[in-house]
Protein backbone atom coordinates (compact mmCIF):
# COMPACT_ATOMS: atom_id res chain seq x y z
CA UNK A 1 0.00 0.00 0.00
CA UNK A 2 1.32 3.39 -0.98
CA UNK A 3 1.61 5.73 1.97
CA UNK A 4 2.83 9.30 2.15
CA UNK A 5 3.73 10.74 5.53
CA UNK A 6 4.46 14.37 6.32
CA UNK A 7 5.96 15.98 9.37
CA UNK A 8 5.29 18.07 11.25
CA UNK A 9 1.50 18.29 11.06
CA UNK A 10 1.56 21.83 12.43
CA UNK A 11 4.36 24.35 12.43
CA UNK A 12 4.46 27.85 13.89
CA UNK A 13 7.41 30.10 13.10
CA UNK A 14 8.48 33.68 13.52
CA UNK A 15 8.97 35.83 10.47
CA UNK A 16 12.46 35.34 9.06
CA UNK A 17 12.95 31.79 10.33
CA UNK A 18 14.15 28.92 8.15
CA UNK A 19 11.46 26.26 7.79
CA UNK A 20 11.68 22.60 6.83
CA UNK A 21 8.79 20.26 6.07
CA UNK A 22 9.51 16.57 5.54
CA UNK A 23 7.80 13.94 3.41
CA UNK A 24 8.37 10.19 3.27
CA UNK A 25 6.81 7.82 0.76
CA UNK A 26 6.71 4.07 0.60
CA UNK A 27 6.80 2.95 -3.03
CA UNK A 28 8.79 3.71 -6.13
CA UNK A 29 7.55 6.87 -7.77
CA UNK A 30 7.80 8.71 -11.05
CA UNK A 31 7.68 12.15 -9.38
CA UNK A 32 7.15 13.93 -6.06
CA UNK A 33 4.93 17.01 -5.92
CA UNK A 34 4.83 19.82 -3.39
CA UNK A 35 1.59 21.80 -3.28
CA UNK A 36 0.42 24.86 -1.36
CA UNK A 37 -3.20 25.24 -0.25
CA UNK A 38 -4.52 28.53 1.07
CA UNK A 39 -7.68 29.02 3.17
CA UNK A 40 -10.63 28.68 0.83
CA UNK A 41 -9.13 25.68 -0.87
CA UNK A 42 -7.15 26.91 -3.87
CA UNK A 43 -4.10 24.76 -4.58
CA UNK A 44 -0.89 25.89 -6.24
CA UNK A 45 1.74 23.50 -7.51
CA UNK A 46 5.11 24.55 -6.08
CA UNK A 47 7.46 21.83 -7.33
CA UNK A 48 7.50 18.57 -9.21
CA UNK A 49 10.76 16.68 -8.91
CA UNK A 50 12.12 13.22 -9.53
CA UNK A 51 15.72 13.75 -8.43
CA UNK A 52 18.04 16.24 -6.84
CA UNK A 53 16.98 19.72 -5.88
CA UNK A 54 14.87 22.59 -7.25
CA UNK A 55 14.74 26.23 -6.15
CA UNK A 56 12.16 28.90 -6.76
CA UNK A 57 12.65 32.17 -4.96
CA UNK A 58 12.77 31.44 -1.22
CA UNK A 59 11.52 27.87 -1.68
CA UNK A 60 13.78 24.86 -2.10
CA UNK A 61 12.72 21.25 -2.60
CA UNK A 62 15.00 18.25 -2.38
CA UNK A 63 14.46 14.54 -2.90
CA UNK A 64 16.47 11.44 -1.97
CA UNK A 65 15.21 8.57 -4.10
CA UNK A 66 17.17 5.89 -2.22
CA UNK A 67 15.74 6.96 1.13
CA UNK A 68 12.26 7.76 -0.31
CA UNK A 69 12.33 11.15 1.35
CA UNK A 70 11.76 14.73 0.28
CA UNK A 71 12.01 18.06 2.05
CA UNK A 72 10.57 21.50 1.40
CA UNK A 73 12.55 24.41 2.78
CA UNK A 74 11.43 28.02 3.10
CA UNK A 75 14.13 30.59 3.72
CA UNK A 76 13.41 33.96 5.38
CA UNK A 77 9.79 32.97 6.08
CA UNK A 78 7.06 35.59 5.83
CA UNK A 79 3.48 35.73 7.13
CA UNK A 80 2.23 35.36 3.54
CA UNK A 81 3.83 31.88 3.51
CA UNK A 82 1.15 30.77 6.01
CA UNK A 83 -0.74 27.95 4.30
CA UNK A 84 -1.07 24.18 4.22
CA UNK A 85 1.79 22.47 2.40
CA UNK A 86 1.06 19.08 0.90
CA UNK A 87 3.38 16.55 -0.63
CA UNK A 88 2.15 13.94 -3.06
CA UNK A 89 3.85 11.11 -4.84
CA UNK A 90 3.00 10.20 -8.39
CA UNK A 91 3.06 6.55 -9.37
CA UNK A 92 2.28 4.76 -12.58
CA UNK A 93 -1.01 5.80 -14.07
CA UNK A 94 -0.48 9.44 -13.11
CA UNK A 95 -2.07 8.72 -9.76
CA UNK A 96 -1.21 11.10 -6.92
CA UNK A 97 -1.22 9.91 -3.31
CA UNK A 98 -1.26 12.80 -0.89
CA UNK A 99 0.17 13.37 2.56
CA UNK A 100 -2.06 14.82 5.25
CA UNK A 101 -0.50 18.26 4.89
CA UNK A 102 1.47 20.57 7.15
CA UNK A 103 -0.29 23.67 8.50
CA UNK A 104 2.30 26.45 8.57
CA UNK A 105 1.69 29.67 10.45
CA UNK A 106 4.29 32.42 10.26
CA UNK A 107 3.85 35.18 12.81
CA UNK A 108 5.08 38.73 12.20
Partner 1 sequence: EAGVTQSPTHLIKTRGQQVTLRCSPISGHTSVYWYQQALGLGLQFLLWYDEGEERNRGNFPPRFSGRQFPNYSSELNVNALELEDSALYLCASRVMGSPSPQHFGDGTRLSIL
Query: Which residues contact partner 1 (rule: CB under 8 A)?
Result: 30-31, 33, 35, 40-45, 47-48, 50, 86, 88, 93-101
Residue 88 CB, shortest distance to partner 1, in Å, is 7
Query: Quick check: 54 and 47 in contact, CB under 8 A?
Result: yes
Nearer to partner 1 among residue 93 and residue 108 (C-beta):
93
Nearer to partner 1 among residue 1 and residue 108 (C-beta):
1
Residue 5 CB, shortest distance to partner 1, in Å, is 11
DSSP at 92: T
Nearer to partner 1 among residue 66 and residue 92 (C-beta):
92
DSSP at 100: -
Residue 40 CB, shortest distance to partner 1, in Å, is 8
Residue 16 CB, shortest distance to partner 1, in Å, is 29
Q: Specify the pairing of strand 102-107 against strand 10-14.
A: parallel
Query: Quick check: 39 and 60 in contact, CB under 8 A?
Result: no
CA distance 33 to 12: 23
Query: Quick check: 46 and 36 in contact, CB under 8 A?
Result: yes
Amino acid sequence: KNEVEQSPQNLTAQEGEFITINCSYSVGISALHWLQQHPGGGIVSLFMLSSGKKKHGRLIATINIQEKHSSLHITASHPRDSAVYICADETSGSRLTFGEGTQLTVNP
